Structure formats: structure tokens, C-alpha cells
A and B are shown apart, each in its own frame.
Chain A
Amino acid sequence: MSTEVPVTTGQTDAAAIATKASLTSEKSQARGGYLHGWSGTVLTVIVVLIGVLWSIPTFGLFVASFLPPQLITSIGWWQGLVQGNFTIQNYQNVIQANGMGQAFINSLIISIPGTIFPMLLGAFAAYAFAWMKFPGRDWLFFGVVALLVVPSQIALGPMYTLFSAIGLTGTYFGVWIAHTAFGLPFAVFLLRNFFAALPKDLMESAHIDGASTWRVFWTIVLPLSVPALASLAIFQFMWVWNDLLVALIFLGGSPSVAPITLAVAEQVGTYGQNYQILTAAAFLSMALPLIVFFSMQRYFVRGILAGSVKG
């Protein structure tokens, strides 16, 4: 659970927030303008140093993963960088020999439904919470808000017992259900707030035209909510992809279905010093989240803000 739900509460107007906060700062306006001159230069240098400091550890692993196995722990990666003796052997070994290729595919098999299911069930519930009136609605919704912060630890023990009893441990299906349940509070919360902010007239006129609730949901609500859905999708995907705890408990005994986080963590345990495997495997496990992150940074940030800050 490293990527815990970054959530407290607050209404969401993801669209409004998104323009305020951007990593890709097409809109970001410096407070009182950018600094120029001497103090601007000093500040820039400080800030760049911080950024470099933050990047060094990752860069170090990146370099180390391309060093020949015998050099990884016998010279510093910064020395290896100077020597320029690089190889892709580690990656070849990892993909072919250690089941990491399979683990990567397992991660995909777990993450894709583990992202879609909670979004879909969450969207159903969010739609009802936002646009339908029924007894206990507010009460139930506050219940969901409360669950946002409940540690999954209270659920893991009894659910493991239950899943063992009905044969769901060690299966993809079991992990999908677990990720769906743990992702639901955030999904319902985020989508409900977004749905509630959609224009009411639009939905009313659709109803007057004779569209069913079901049709309105699929043809009006969902298409209008693409920004919120995108944020949610990225978040949920990253949690599930990077998850260790749920995989450890529900798939711990089944290496053949283990995701890459678990496979790598296992390598750390079994061959603690097997660095040529660890470096390449770690980088392989980071590849997809990093691609998602770089290509959809804006939505990622938007999701964070939608979840944790009122907009």
C-alpha cells in the first residue's frame, strides 16, 4: 500500500482544479511573476539542485541495471558511468530466466480488471448517490467517506480466511475482488462529487425526451465525466500495479500468478545479493507506471487534487 489513497474529503470539481494545478504548467502563473536577475538565478540553482538530488537515486539504479553483473557491486555506478562498459544482459536474464516476463504479464492481468471493475461499480453507485433520491442515501454516502481512511489491515485477516475457504486465494479473481473493494470508496467518492456537479438541465431534458436512467448514464453522464474517469483510472491502475500487500496475502503462495512487485520482493528475499536480477527487474517493474505517469501527468495530478483537496 505504498500508494495509499491520498484522500481526506472535500467536494470535487476536478475540472476547475485541473486548470489551477499543473505539473505541465501551461496555465501555471508564477506568484507575482518569475524572478529575474541575481536572486532569480540563485533560486533557480537551488531548485535545480533539489530536483537533481531527488533524481539521483533512480538514475543510479538505471545506470547500475546496465552494468555487467560482476561490476554492479564492485564499483560505484557513478564509476561505471565513466567507464562506459554497458550491457543489456541483465534485462535479457531477467526476462528469460526468472519468470519476470510472466510476472509482468500477471501484473497486467491483475491491474486491468483491477482498474475497470472498481471504476464501473463505483460509477454505478456514484450516479445513484448524486442523482437519485432514496431513503438512507446521505447516510450511506457518509459511510463510504468513512471507509476512505479505514486501514485495509482490518479486512485482510478475515477475508483471507473466507477466500481460503471458498478457494479464491491464489486466483486472479480473488485479487480482482479485493482490489475492487479496496478501490471502491475512493471511486465512489470522487465520481459522486464529479457527477453531482454536472448540469441538471441536461439530464432532465434527456429524461423528458424519454431516455431511461440507464441510457442517461451511458450516453450523458459517463462521456461528460471523462476527465474524472481518467484521473481515477490512472490512480487505481498505479495502486494496483504497485500494490504489494494485497498480492502478498492473496497470492503469496502462488508464484505462477504473482505480480511483478511480489516477484521482485521475493527476489530481494531469496537472493538478497543477486543484484543483476534485482536492478533490471526493478526497472522493468517501473517501466509501465512511469510511461503512464509521463503521458498522463496532468490527470494524475488532477486526481490527487480531486481526492485530497476541495476544489
Chain B
Amino acid sequence: MAMIAKGQSPETVLPQKKKPGGRQRGQESRITWSAWIWIAPAVILLLAFFIYPLIQTIILSFEKTDLLGNVTGFVGWQNYKEIFTDPNLLNTLKNNLIWLVLATILTVGLGLVIAVLVDRVRIEALVKSMLFIPMAISATAAGIIWRFVYAYVPVGNGNEYGLLNAFLGLFGAQPQAWVTDQRFATFSLIVIYVWIWTGFCMVIISAALKGIPDDVIEAAKMDGAGRFTMFWRIMVPMIGPTLGVVITTMIINVLKIFDVVYVVTGGNYGTNVVAVQFFQEYFLNSQYGIGSALAILLTIAILPVMVINIRRMRAEERAR
């Protein structure tokens, strides 16, 4: 998470309009006690849905659960130790790491490249829409859509109806079981995820690109900057803060990856990830201890991003 520059100035992400009422806000001295009534429903619900369960989950993660799902007492760090020693669970952690690295780099990287490419063509809006549509599709539907890409029919058992195998077959390649073969499965899932989320990254990055002042680009051109210089030396640094935000957002999303995996493989074929394993342990196997420990690990992994967010927010509030 070190890639987010700590001191980044929030002002530079997108060109900002001065907020008319912003400066005086909060300076009125009168305390409005009725404010508590306005916030009460939200605060009560948030306490009930986040704070109470957080405490419960922390406690459960230190307790033993027997095979019948009865919580049988305090066991200290044992659940956590199990996560880091059990080969199955270790594989889950490893998968999450693969996801974190590959899915984040691919979504942000492709989003950046495509944003730069579409910026200079007339049919920009159309192409953006095409990339963006998967965002509106549920992972359940996406899972079925991709069945028709990854479908596998062993040679001699009939016609390939999976697009990928049929396409590779044109070049004489053997059909592969993309989703059920452990060697490919996680990567196949990541491709689906990249398909869903690249449009999201592209839209945000594209907005930031449009915020680069024209004179900066013109000046660089005058100085004879070529395309690659322009990309790496001008565009990327200028939108650095936005890239930071997109990367943090994607890190959080990828860490919590659940439904693509759940729908397509159900965590089988060596593709399990923390959020799916959590669901299986807690809700299917009644292993509340392990399940809770997994949820806590997920939260801890996200903690640095939370701290960064609050810091940035505070800086903005002070700047008001």
C-alpha cells in the first residue's frame, strides 16, 4: 500500500471548483442538539451492523468451534495459526495474493492504457460504453457469460462451443479445461474480473486525463516530447494522485473478491479465496472460529487503506 503517496495533495486529483459555502461551514457557534435526531437512525444502524459484529467476530476468532458447530471456549491464537499452517488455507491465502497483484495491475494498467488510447479518437464515448457495460452486470450473469468463452469439450466428444478453445483450435492448439484445470483456473477467473473492472478504472483515469491543462500538453509538444515521453513523463505523473485513488480502491475490491469465484468455481480446483473460504467455513461448515479469523484477517489487510483515507479526509477538512 506504499504506492499511495502520503502527502499527496488532494487538490490535484481533478480540477476543483471552489466550494461556495465551504469556508464558513462549521463556524457557527450554536450547537444544534437536534442534530442527534437526524443522525440517530444511521448511527444506530451502523453501530448494529459494524461495531457490534466486529466485536463478536473478534471474540469468535479466538474461540474453539467443535465439529458440530458448538463454540467451546477460548483457544487464543489457534485459529489464526491454523490458517497459516493448514495447506488448504495457505493455498487460499496464496490465491488472494495472486489476485491482489495480478487483478490490481491488470485492471489499473489496462484502464490507464485504454484511457490514453480512447482519449484521441472520435468514437471515444462508444468504446467507453462497451468497456463499461460489464460493470452493470452481476457476477452471476458474468459467470454464465464466460462459460461460453471457457467451455471445454474434450477432443472427439463433439463440437467446441467455448469461444476460447474454438479460437485456439484454429491454430491447432489442444482444447483446455480453463476453469477446472488447476493450472489455469485462478487466472481464468482473474480474466473475468479484469473484464468487469477495467472499464471502471478507465472511466476514472480518463476523467483525470481530461483535467490535465492544455498548456502543459502543448508545452511538452513544443519541447519535442514523443508519445512515450508524453505518456510516462507528463500524463502519468500529472494524474498520479488519481492513479493512487484507483489503485487503493481496486486493492480493497480485489481483497474482498467473492462472487466471481463463488459463481464460477465455488472455490474448487484450487481457486479458493479468503472471502469464499470465510463463507464456506462460517455458513456451510459451521466453523465459526476459523471463519471469523478469516474475516478479521481481511479487515486487517484493509486497515492501512482505511488509515490513508481518514488522513486524506482530515487534510481536506482542514483545507476547507
Residue among B36, B217, B221, B294 with max Cβ neighbours from chain A (10 Å): B36
| A233, CB-defined interface residue at 8 Å | no
| B288, CB-defined interface residue at 8 Å | yes
| B56, CB-defined interface residue at 8 Å | yes
| A54, CB-defined interface residue at 8 Å | yes
| A305, CB-defined interface residue at 8 Å | yes
Residues facing B in A136-194 (CB within 8 A) are 137-138, 140, 142-151, 153-161, 177-178, 180-182, 184-185, 188
Q: Report the separation of the CA atoms of residues A209 and B46 in the bound assembly, to the nearest whole angstrom.
A: 35
The number of residues on chain B lying at the interface, defined by a beta carbon within 8 Å of a beta carbon of chain A, is 139
Binding stretch for chain A, among B76-84, B89-97, B98-106, B136-144: B136-144
Once A4-B256, A48-B127, A289-B138 are accepted as A-B contacts, the answer to whether A23 and B203 lie under 8 Å apart by CB is yes
Task: Return the chain B residue nearest A311 by Cβ.
Answer: B14
Which residues of the other chain, A, contact B266 by a CB distance below 8 angstroms?
A: 269
- B291–chain A nearest beta-carbon distance, Å: 6
Q: Are A78 and B163 in contact (CB under 8 A)?
A: yes
Q: Are A34 and B122 in contact (CB under 8 A)?
A: yes
B22-47 CB mask vs A (1 if < 8 Å, else 0) is 10111011111111101101110110
The number of residues on chain A lying at the interface, defined by a beta carbon within 8 Å of a beta carbon of chain B, is 136
Q: Are A124 and B138 in contact (CB under 8 A)?
A: no
Which residues of the other chain, A, contact B283 by a CB distance below 8 angstroms?
A: 156-157, 160, 249, 252
Which residues of the other chain, A, contact B196 by a CB distance below 8 angstroms?
A: 2
Once A54-B130, A58-B133, A132-B35 are accepted as A-B contacts, the answer to whether A198 and B21 lie under 8 Å apart by CB is yes
B173-199 CB mask vs A (1 if < 8 Å, else 0) is 000000000000000000000011011
Once A30-B119, A147-B50, A155-B49 are accepted as A-B contacts, the answer to whether A199 and B20 lie under 8 Å apart by CB is yes
A246-279 CB mask vs B (1 if < 8 Å, else 0) is 0011001000000001001100110000000011
A99-140 CB mask vs B (1 if < 8 Å, else 0) is 000000000000000000000011011011111111101101
Q: Are B49 and A178 in contact (CB under 8 A)?
A: yes
Once A73-B151, A77-B161 are accepted as A-B contacts, the answer to whether A124 and B41 lie under 8 Å apart by CB is yes
Which residues of the other chain, B, contact A145 by a CB distance below 8 angstroms?
A: 309-310, 313
Which residues of the other chain, B, contact A46 by a CB distance below 8 angstroms?
A: 117
| B271, CB-defined interface residue at 8 Å | no
- B48–chain A nearest beta-carbon distance, Å: 7
Q: Are B163 and A25 in contact (CB under 8 A)?
A: no
Known: A9-B309, A57-B146, A135-B31. 15 other contacts (CB 8 A): A2-B196, A21-B204, A23-B128, A32-B218, A57-B195, A61-B145, A134-B33, A143-B46, A149-B252, A151-B256, A158-B56, A201-B21, A285-B138, A304-B200, A305-B204
Interface residues, chain B, CB within 8 Å of chain A?
A: 10-11, 13-17, 19-22, 24-26, 28-36, 38-39, 41-43, 45-46, 48-50, 52-54, 56-57, 60, 114, 117-149, 151, 158-163, 166, 195-196, 198-200, 203-204, 206-212, 214, 217-218, 221, 241-242, 245-246, 248-249, 252-253, 255-256, 258-260, 262-263, 266, 275, 278-279, 282-283, 288, 291-292, 294-296, 298-299, 302, 305-306, 308-310, 312-314, 316-317
